[in-house]
């Protein structure tokens, strides 16, 4: 783990779970898997505090435990998973686009709590949706349930590993920690529950309703103390599936920008058909016949079968190898090659990434970079000639990129004694090294952004608190029907310059937050690229 990753993990833990959890997570990340008592020693925290922190971390799948042969339990932090905290908004937003508000809230609840039983998740979401509805209306459980089932069917959520059945007649003492496990085939099976009910509002506006409401809750509370019907069956968000979705989206938009809307729709259809049959990490989708594809095209697309075949042929012929032809049965079978579209030998990930990343260095550097990618190895002189950049400038750019590890020098000796005067020095791009360097930079960027944001908030703490107090006073005054003049007087408690300061703060914090989201997108692209390149045989 690099320092940059460690620092970012620390900041994320601290922001979402507080300093105690951060200290524990940090210790595990830096010194590796440890048992409880060593952890207490390392962190300097109280035993109970460490226990609580571990419970939280395990609940959120950020730490795993393992029983050692000697009987002690060791805890290990999952650094990659901790970094995913940054991506939560994207997961939630995606769920919204695919499954609407119930989908969005279900994914949000599962992320906020780490894992939940279905009954609990459905109840919470129904309550939340009810809050947003008009007076008197409530959200029925069935709609939320059916969205839950759809999320499970498309593998966006999955079941957590379960506690093994303990044999009744065992004489041995129970193990220090359960060995949780789940079979692949059970991971998406929704238990047969009949969840009946409606969402409840937390507070009602008039007393009468409140009275009824309380009575109703009493009855329902009676039920909640019993074990729920799906006791022991927990669900969590399947992050990998979301990642697959993001990759698919990127692929489709790459096809759209390279060819046209219709071809991107064809690819999108193919990907949709293969959603659950493609193992994560697979290099291609399962072969799909052109007949099947034709039948699965979305309703709005009235292209003839022959036109579809032409499109498929075009896609298969494209040097970027998005789609490959795998056979002739059923009118021709095709696959979408996922891996090679992410790690094509001659292309840096996601063609639009180059200008983005090299914006820092300038468009001429970008030109040199692309040139080196295409030509693999070039001498100094050749770079100047091909890129049509004057020598001095070219040299300067190459050295700068060299010092940042974006390009490297390759020695090709002409003679066995490697004499410098008789050796070729060629510039080349080591794609993996460059990608890793950029990724490292991204981690650093996000950490810097977070620290700056926290600094801004701290600097303005007094003013923020004052502003919140004034808001509260205003709200209560409005509720009790104060006059405009009185309200105005209270508003005046915040002076003009203070208002300006608050606005600036808000603008800056928004900008920083938006930037963090943006950098996470780049992190995703780079991580996917590195992962898929490493998988390539």
Partner 1 sequence: LSMAGRGRGRGRGQMTFNVEAVGIGKGDALPPPTLQPSPLFPALERRAVPLPGGEEGEYMLALKQELRRAMRGLPYFVKPGAPRRDIERYSDKYQLSSPTDNAIDWNPDWRRLPRELKIRVRRLRKGRTTPLVPKQHVALDKEETIKKLESLEKKEEEVTSEEEEEKEEEEEGKEEEEEEYDEEEHEEETDYVLSYFDNGESFGPDSDDNGDEAVY
CA nearest 334: which of 271, 282, 254? Answer: 271
Please, are residues 404 and 437 in contact by the beta-carbon 8 Å criterion? yes
Q: Quick count: other Cβ atoms within 10 Å of Cβ 75?
A: 23
Is 182 a binding residue for partner 1 by CB under 8 A? The answer is no
CB of 177 to partner 1, least distance (A): 3
Is 502 a binding residue for partner 1 by CB under 8 A? The answer is no
Residues 6+ apart with CB under 8 A from 375: 382, 386
**Residues between 334 and 363 that touch partner 1 (CB under 8 A):** 356, 359-360, 362
Alpha-carbon gap, residue 204 to 411, rounded angstroms:
76
CB of 496 to partner 1, least distance (A): 23
Is 246 a binding residue for partner 1 by CB under 8 A? The answer is no
**Residues between 2 and 61 that touch partner 1 (CB under 8 A):** 15-21, 36, 46, 48-49, 51-56, 58-60
| Residue selected from 292, 309, 513, 531 as contacting partner 1 according to rule CB under 8 A | 513
Cα 396 → chain centroid: 38
Our CB check for partner 1 shows the closer of 146 and 257 to be 257
Piece in contact with partner 1 (CB under 8 A), picked from 90-98, 250-258, 289-297, 429-437: 90-98
**Residues between 401 and 460 that touch partner 1 (CB under 8 A):** 409, 420-421, 423-425
Pair of tokens at residue 291: 């007949």
Residues 6+ apart with CB under 8 A from 284: 324, 326, 335, 336, 337, 338, 339
Query: Dihedrals φ, ψ of 52, to 5°?
Result: -60, -45
Pair of tokens at residue 283: 């290099």
CB of 458 to partner 1, least distance (A): 13
Our CB check for partner 1 shows the closer of 228 and 324 to be 228
Alpha-carbon gap, residue 57 to 33, rounded angstroms:
14
Is 218 a binding residue for partner 1 by CB under 8 A? The answer is yes
Is 142 a binding residue for partner 1 by CB under 8 A? The answer is no
Please, are residues 293 and 308 in contact by the beta-carbon 8 Å criterion? yes
Alpha-carbon gap, residue 115 to 12, rounded angstroms:
19
Judged by DSSP in three states, 208 sits in: helix
CB of 501 to partner 1, least distance (A): 19
| Residue selected from 1, 133, 180, 182 as contacting partner 1 according to rule CB under 8 A | 180
**Residues between 91 and 130 that touch partner 1 (CB under 8 A):** 92-93, 96, 108, 112-114
Is 390 a binding residue for partner 1 by CB under 8 A? The answer is no
Alpha-carbon gap, residue 145 to 126, rounded angstroms:
9
Piece in contact with partner 1 (CB under 8 A), picked from 173-181, 300-308, 345-353, 434-442: 173-181
Our CB check for partner 1 shows the closer of 45 and 338 to be 45
**Residues between 267 and 326 that touch partner 1 (CB under 8 A):** none
Pair of tokens at residue 372: 């080196």
| Residue selected from 90, 364, 444, 452 as contacting partner 1 according to rule CB under 8 A | 90
Our CB check for partner 1 shows the closer of 8 and 323 to be 8
Our CB check for partner 1 shows the closer of 405 and 518 to be 518
Concatenated DSSP letters of 168-187: TT--SPPPSS---B--GGGT
């Amino acid at each position: 783990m690099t320092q940059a990753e460690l620092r970012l993990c620390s900041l994320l833990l601290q922001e979402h779970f507080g300093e105690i959890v951060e200290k524990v997570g940090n210790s595990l990340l830096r010194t590796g898997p440890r048992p409880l008592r060593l952890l207490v020693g390392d962190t300097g925290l109280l035993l109970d505090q460490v226990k609580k922190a571990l419970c939280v971390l395990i609940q959120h799948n950020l730490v795993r435990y393992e029983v050692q042969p000697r009987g002690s339990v060791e805890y290990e932090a999952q650094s990659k998973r901790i970094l995913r905290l940054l991506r939560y908004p994207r997961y939630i937003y995606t769920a919204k686009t695919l499954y609407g508000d119930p989908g969005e809230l279900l994914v949000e609840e599962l992320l906020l709590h780490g894992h939940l039983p279905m009954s609990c998740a459905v109840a919470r979401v129904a309550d939340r949706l009810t809050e947003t509805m008009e007076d008197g209306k409530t959200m029925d459980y069935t709609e939320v349930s059916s969205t839950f089932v759809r999320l499970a069917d498309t593998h966006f959520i999955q079941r957590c590993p379960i506690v093994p059945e303990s044999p009744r007649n065992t004489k041995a003492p129970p193990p220090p920690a359960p060995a949780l496990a789940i079979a692949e085939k059970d991971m998406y099976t929704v238990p047969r529950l009949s969840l009946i009910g409606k969402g409840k509002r937390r507070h009602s506006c008039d007393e009468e309703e409140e009275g009824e409401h309380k009575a109703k809750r009493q009855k329902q509370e009676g039920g909640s103390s019993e074990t729920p019907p799906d006791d022991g069956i927990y669900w969590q968000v399947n992050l990998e599936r979301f990642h697959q979705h993001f990759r698919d989206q990127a692929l489709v938009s790459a096809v759209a920008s390279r060819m046209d809307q219709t071809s991107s729709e064809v690819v999108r259809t193919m990907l949709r058909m293969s959603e659950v049959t493609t193992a994560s990490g697979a290099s291609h989708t399962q072969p799909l016949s052109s007949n099947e594809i034709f039948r699965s095209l979305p309703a709005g697309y009235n292209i003839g079968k022959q036109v579809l075949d032409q499109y498929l042929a075009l896609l298969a012929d494209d040097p970027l190898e998005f789609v490959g032809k795998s056979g002739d049965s059923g009118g021709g079978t095709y696959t979408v090659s996922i891996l090679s579209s992410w790690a094509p030998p001659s292309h840096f990930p996601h063609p639009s990434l180059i200008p983005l990343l090299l914006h820092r260095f300038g468009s001429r550097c970008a030109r040199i970079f692309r040139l080196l990618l295409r030509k693999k190895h070039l001498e100094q002189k050749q770079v100047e000639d091909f890129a049509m950049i004057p020598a001095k400038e070219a040299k300067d750019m190459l050295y700068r990129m060299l010092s940042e590890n974006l390009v490297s020098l390759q020695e090709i000796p002409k003679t066995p004694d490697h004499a410098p005067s008789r050796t070729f020095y060629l510039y080349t791009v080591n794609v993996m090294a460059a990608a890793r360097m950029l990724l490292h930079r991204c981690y650093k960027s996000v950490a810097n952004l977070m620290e700056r944001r926290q600094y801004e908030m701290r600097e303005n703490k007094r003013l923020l608190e004052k502003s919140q107090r004034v808001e509260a006073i205003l709200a209560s005054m409005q509720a009790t029907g104060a006059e405009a003049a009185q309200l105005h007087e209270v508003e005046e408690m915040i002076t003009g310059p203070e208002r300006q300061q608050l606005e600036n703060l808000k603008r800056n914090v928004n900008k920083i937050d938006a930037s963090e989201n943006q950098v996470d997108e780049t992190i995703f692209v780079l991580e996917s690229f590195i992962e898929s390149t490493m998988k390539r045989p």
